[in-house]
Amino acid sequence: MDSIVIKNVTKEYSGKKVVDNLNLNIKEGEFYCLMGPNGSGKTTLSSIIASIRTQNSGTVEIYGKNPSKAKDMIGYLPQENFSDSSLTGRENLTYFARMLRYKRKEASPVVNDLINKIGLAEDADKRVSKYSGGMRKRLELATILFPGTKILILDEPTTGLDPSARRNFFGLIDIIKDETTTIILISHIGSDAENASRVGFMDDGKIIAEGTPDDLKNNSDLKTIINIETSIKNEKIMEILKGFSKGGKLHETEKGYKIYNNETEGIIPKIVKAVEEKGYKIIQIGSIIPSLEDVFFKLTGKSVREEKE
């Protein structure tokens, strides 16, 4: 059974199509990840599903209902922190419980249950201003876990969290998730998207590729990637490295570059030699298994982590 059906949805801002005639069906219980760079339209699409925004054309159905009529079933976790830092964790959850029309007496046991579920029992009565980023995100996750919520929309939930807190967050999601809960994850982080059962790559308002994480990687024709950490980054080094990359594609990373070439055995010494002959230093070089971010780059030539111009 489909929990979400999106048909020919278009959303424009000032004449620019942010979501472009998009079609998508998500099954009940599915963990779907929309992955794409900033400005690709994924947050706009998720906000349409959550009935925060309305589309210019097309239809969205949540279990056959218009999203505005299905708000009780949808839990939306925005990217930014929205909890009140001057209140305690318990007070914040009680506020959202009452906003969801729980009576005072009904709210208390539900809030206690949620606090235990997200592992904040010891810190529930501390002010949120004293929480770490990971604790605050878990608290805010609890605001979408009230009984009756069938669709969880997580918009870049791990932004600003360290790798350990990110793993803990998805560990919590794995425990919470049951067979009937549908999850939509909005992310530009490949390792986050690996947790999903299906991933849709979104670019320029369209879904350009879709499949399980393994299918997307297997069908990408990417066997190996060479990761190079250099002492400096500039155009000259890029020109040298492009000569070694299949199709001339070069992916800039935080510490250097990635190149795509299925031959690894003999190529690494050649790269080292070519770079060092020009007077530059390679700090580290090695082959790595392709990630979903690499597959996205191969398909679009864009990095999912880059700011879109």
Beta carbon of residue 95, minimum distance to other proteins (angstroms, whole number): 5
Smallest distance from the beta carbon of 92 to other proteins, in angstroms? 9
Is 32 or 96 the residue whose CB approaches other proteins more closely? 96
Of 135, 97, 136, 100, residue with least CA distance to 113: 97
Q: Which is nearer to other proteins, 128 or 267 (CB)?
A: 128
Of 1, 14, 15, 103, the one binding other proteins by CB under 8 A: 103
The minimum distance between CB 26 and other proteins, in angstroms, equals 17
106 vs 215, which CB is nearer to other proteins?
106
Only one of the segments 27-35, 94-102, 251-259, 279-287 lies at the binding site for other proteins (rule: CB under 8 A); that segment is 94-102
The residues, any chain, with a CB within 8 Å of residue 116's CB and separated by 6 or more, are: none
What would the 3-class secondary structure string for the chain be? CEEEEEEEEEEEECCEEEEEEEEEEEECCCEEEEECCCCCCHHHHHHHHCCCCCCCEEEEEECCECHHHCHHHEEEECCCCCCCCCCEHHHHHHHHHHHCCCCHHHHHHHHHHHHHHCCCHHHCCCEHHHCCHHHHHHHHHHCCCCCCCCEEEEECCCCCCCHHHHHHHHHHHHHHCCCCCEEEEEECCHHHHCCCCEEEEEECCEEEEEECHHHHHHCCCCCCEEEEEECCCCHHHHHHHHCCCHHHCEEECCCEEEEECCCCCCHHHHHHHHHHHCCCCEEEEEEECCCHHHHHHHHHCCCCCCCCC
* Token pair listed for 118: 């997200």
Which lies closer to other proteins via its Cβ, residue 80 or residue 235? 80
Residue in 2, 30, 95, 108 binding other proteins, rule: CB under 8 A: 95
Confirm or reject binding of residue 101 to other proteins (CB under 8 A).
yes
Closest distance of CB 309 from other proteins, Å: 23
Q: Which residue, 76 or 297, is less far from other proteins as judged by CB?
A: 76
> Restricting to residues 62-91, which ones interact with other proteins according to CB under 8 A?
71-72, 74-76, 78, 80-84, 86-87, 91
Q: For other proteins, how many residues bind (rule: CB under 8 A)?
A: 32
How far the first Cα of the chain sits from its last, in Å, is 39
Q: Smallest distance from the beta carbon of 74 to other proteins, in angstroms?
A: 6
- Segment 142 to 181, residues that bind other proteins, using CB under 8 A: 143, 153
Candidates 98, 177, 198, 242: give the one binding other proteins (CB under 8 A): 98
Q: State which residue, 56 or 219, has the beta carbon closest to other proteins.
A: 56
Min dist. Cβ of residue 91 to other proteins (A):
7
CA distance 287 to 271: 12
Q: Smallest distance from the beta carbon of 135 to other proteins, in angstroms?
A: 17
Residue from 5, 100, 110, 176 binding other proteins (CB under 8 A): 100
Q: Please give the Cα distance from 68 to 62 (Å, whole number).
A: 9
Chain residues 3-62 in contact with other proteins, contact rule CB under 8 A: 47, 50-53
Residues in touch with other proteins (CB under 8 A):
47, 50-53, 71-72, 74-76, 78, 80-84, 86-87, 91, 94-104, 143, 153
